[in-house]
Amino acid sequence: MQALDLYATIEEYLDFEDEVHHLYKTIGHTVLSKNPKTLIDIGCGQGEFCHIMDLNGIKTLGVDLSAKQIDIAVSKGTNAKCIDVKDVEEKFDCATATFDVINYLPKKYIKKFLQSCYDVLQDKGNFIFDINSLYGFENVAQGTLNIDLEDKFIAIDANFEEGTLYTDITLFDKEVKGQKYTKLSGTIEQYCYEKSELSLLLEEVGFEVENIINFNLHSSEEYDKYIYVCKKG
Ligand SMILES: C[S@@+](CC[C@H](N)C(=O)[O-])C[C@H]1O[C@@H](n2cnc3c(N)ncnc32)[C@H](O)[C@@H]1O
């Protein structure tokens, strides 16, 4: 199983719901202030942000590279496809990427990815997303978490080394019959982007960075995230 699909399998047990809704509220208000009629949510996961935007009368499409995430999103009624954003042909008034998606992009692909986010927008369309700050990687994301359930055991171990967060996930899942467990494991990598580095890349592909909002997701001390508000120039 791909690491992204493994993450999709365990996401419901992570208990991030309240914090993520706090993030959706800020990103959602920013999106609504721009009055878009159409929105593409890139890395839409299980479709929750699309669902909130649908309720606000916006026509949405969610895209994600994990087939498992898309299966779950579609089963919940989201208009979603397992397709790379570079292959999307429609144009949208707004693009979003919520809850760490941009951090999943390796340095060698980030510029092409941002270019695809630019290309999928109408002229003057907005691109709104969050990224983790260095403080967030060093002080919030690192650590271990074990989740012990009746029919599952999940072990997560995250280490930040030289700009990359390596999150090792191991899932022991009890077979339907008998006492045996199957073991699945994988590593998700997330990459840290400095504010200045990312702003430069965005400007190089043609975006105007309108605003960068400091945000506290898990921490009440320093900012662990930034929300970027960009416009297609
Ligand atoms: C932490 S989840 C966030 C999901 C969702 N946006 C949310 O708010 O819950 C990150 C998502 O990014 C997706 N992803 C990672 N790299 C991607 C890429 N290059 N294009 C599209 N989706 C990607 C993963 O499959 C995963 O669903």
- Is 73 a pocket residue for ligand 1 (Cβ < 6 Å)? no
pTM for the full predicted model: 0.96
The CA angle 9-70-96, to the nearest 5 degrees, is 110
CA distances from 164 to 189, 192, 193 (A): 7, 6, 10
Q: Which atom of ligand 1 is nearest to the CA of 97?
A: 6
Look up residue 16 and give its DSSP letter.
-
Q: Is 49 in the pocket of ligand 1 (CB under 6 A)?
A: yes
State the DSSP code for 13: G
pLDDT at 1: 61
- Contact at 8 Å (CB) between 79 and 92? no
Q: What separation in Å is there between the alpha carbon of 45 and the centre of ligand 1? A: 5
Q: What is the pLDDT of residues 127-158, one digit of tens each?
A: 999 999 999 999 999 999 999 998 899 999 99
Q: Are the CB atoms for 200 and 180 separated by under 8 Å?
A: no
Average pLDDT per block of 10 residues along the chain, 233 residues long: 89 90 97 98 98 98 97 98 98 98 97 98 98 95 93 95 97 81 94 96 98 90 94 94
Those residues with Cβ within 8 angstroms of residue 153's Cβ, 6 or more apart along the chain or in another chain: 146, 147, 171, 172, 181
The tokens of 55 are what? 């309720």
Structure tokens at 21: 């809704």
Q: Residue 59: its pLDDT value, please?
A: 98
Cβ partners under 8 Å of residue 115, min gap 6 = 205
> Contact at 8 Å (CB) between 225 and 101?
no
Work out whether strand 207-215 and strand 152-161 pair parallel, antiparallel, or are unpaired. unpaired
List beta partners, residue 167.
158, 188
Render pLDDT for 3-32 as a digit per residue (tens, 0 to 9).
999 999 999 999 888 899 999 999 999 999
Sheet bearing 152-161, strands edge to edge: 143-148, 152-161, 164-174, 181-191
**Using a 6 Å cutoff on CB, does residue 69 contact ligand 1?**
yes
Cα(10) to ligand 1 centroid in Å equals: 14
pLDDT of residue 56: 98
Q: Which amino acid is at 100?
A: D
Nearest Cα to Cα of residue 131 among 116, 110, 112: 110
